[in-house]
Structure formats: C-alpha cells, structure tokens
Amino acid sequence: MFRSIGAVSRLTGLSPHTLRAWERRYSAVAPSRNQQGQRIYSARDIERLQILSSLVLSGYAIGSIATLSGKSLKTLRDQDSAIYSKIRTLDFRKRIMEGIHGNRAAESAALLHAAASCLSTYDFLAKIVVPLMRDVGTAWQKGNLHFCQEHVITRLITRVLRFNCQILERVVSGPNVLLTTLPDEQHVMGTLAASYFIRSHGVRTCIPGESRNMPEIAAVAERSGCSVLGLSIGNAKATEFVPSILELRALVPESIPIWIGGTGIVGRKPKLPSNVVPIHSLKSLSRSIELIPAVGLTLDGGKVRKSG
C-alpha cells in the first residue's frame, strides 16, 4: 500500500514542503512516482520519516541523521526514548494531578493534550491514562480527592481521547472494529481508549450507542459490516458475562472474531467459545490487530508495517 504526500504529511506531522526538502537536500527518502508523476510513499518510507521526525524533535539535526540506515535510526530512536520517556511521563502525570488538586482544570487539560501529542499512543495510554486513573482511584479511596475533582479528570481524559480519535478518523481505512459494552454497562473511557489505540494502527472503529441486549448488539454488528466485534466488560463476574458471550457468539457469524477486554477480565481466564479472544493488555490488543485480514499500515510510534 502506498500513500500520497498529503496522507504522509498527516501521518508524520511533516509539511509537504518539508518532505520535499528532506528528499531534495538530504536524500532522506526516495519515494516512487505514480503514473501522474506524483510522489507515493511506501510503508518503509513512512516508517523512516516518522523516526526522522521524532529524532529531529528531540534535537538532532536532519543533516546529521538523514542518510543513516534504517537499523541505525531505530537504534538511535530507541536510545533516545529510553532516556527521556520515563522522565516525561512521570512529569506529566505529576503535573496533571497537581492541576486537579489545585482546581486548575485548564492547566491539566493542556498537559493531557501535550502528552498525547509528544508521546506514542501506547505510551500515552499505558504510562499516562491508565496510571492516572489508578492515581485518581487511590486518592479517592484515601479521601484526598473530592468527587467533583474525580469527575473533572475523568471528563478531561475522555475529551482528549475523543479528540484524538477524531483526528485519526481522517486517515484510517480498511477493516472496521465495532466497539461496544455489555448491555446496561457504560465504559466510555475504555471504549474510547481502545478506539484510539486501534485507529493508531490504521484500522477504522465504530462505537454505537448503548445496546439493551445481545441480539441488538449482533444486529448492529451485522448492519455495520464489521471485521471484528470488540466488547468492553466492566466489573461483572465471569459467571455473569460468560453466558452473555456464549449467547453473542451464537448470534454473530463465526467469521467475525469477538474480542473481550476491560477491567472485568483482568486477571481472569474464563472458558470461552471459539473465536472469542480475551484482550488482557495493550500488547495483546496490538497482536490481535495485526491478525485482522487486510490491515494496512500501522501509523503510530515508528511502527509502520505493511500487512501480509
């Protein structure tokens, strides 16, 4: 799969002018041309440009790294990430919580947006969003956080996730993952976080409204033409949700995998029917995404791949 210069600009954050300049002045990449003579970029080109962009943002001069091999660039990026990522994520979390405790919601919102912009999707979710919600829960239990402050941070994170999902909606294509919850459960943040992560891999997602029963979920899946049905499970016990999964599996065509994730399956290994995949972590979600037929490009964090 090849991408136009406009699409690559959106995926890398580099303007078309910069892309042309890096090609002309530094031989950073050598894109192919289509029949109309327009530049078209391969998955490898995009991966290289994303790494170059991240290193330039970290302070490297493009002229000093443009002609390095792909292996050397990845090594340099990994070394840079190892040095700075831990410092940045800890600092973001600390300052966001300080803003919440100090009733400075606008400050915390700006920090959340900054974290989402400068970190990979994986790091933002795994090192910012998930630990933040854990921090909020701990502070709430200890009486160090007012319920209004808990609502504020939850609302801010939800808004940032929704905003970034909308940005990625412009560039994703191919298969479609339908994300929903068990009937009568609402996990807006969980489904939004999953949607953000899945879209960062170049895959479309859809989050319908709340469903009242399993037949209704199955009907929505059929109408949407989804490639995968993802189900977020809250704090329900295995004895409560497994019968629902069995019912849903019988209603949804076997060709459509059902992913189940959320706090309800953490640390649990329920006996599940065929083609029902438990998602215990972002890493397992990433592996499952790569198994979807016709997945094209991974867009995030220097991990651009071509399927097949």
CB distance 252 to 246 below 8 Å: no
Q: Whole-prediction pTM value?
A: 0.67
Task: Tell me how many degrees the CA angle 229-264-244 measures, rounded to the nearest 5.
Answer: 55
**Residue 163 in contact with residue 191, Cβ under 8 Å?**
no
| Over residues 273-286, mean pLDDT | 90
Sheet of 3-4: strands edge to edge? 3-4, 39-41, 32-33
Q: What is the pLDDT of residue 274?
A: 87
User: Can you tell me the distance from the alpha carbon of 121 to that of 165, in angstroms, rounded to the nearest whole number?
Assistant: 11
| Residues 187-235: tens digit of each pLDDT | 688 899 999 999 888 888 999 877 778 999 999 998 988 999 999 887 6
**Per-residue model confidence as pLDDT tens digits over 299-308:** 443 333 333 3
Containing 220, the helix (H) or strand (E) segment is: helix 214-224
> Which helix (DSSP H) or strand (DSSP E) does residue 260 occupy?
strand 258-261
Tens digits of per-residue pLDDT, 145-158?
888 888 999 999 99
Number of residues assigned to the chain = 308
Domains of the chain, first to last: 3-68 (1.10.1660.10), 81-166 (1.10.1240.10), 171-290 (3.40.50.280)
Could you give the 3-state DSSP secondary structure of residue 204? strand
Contact predicate 247/219, CB 8 Å: no
Which tokens hold the place of 27? Answer: 């031989």
The pLDDT of residue 116? 83
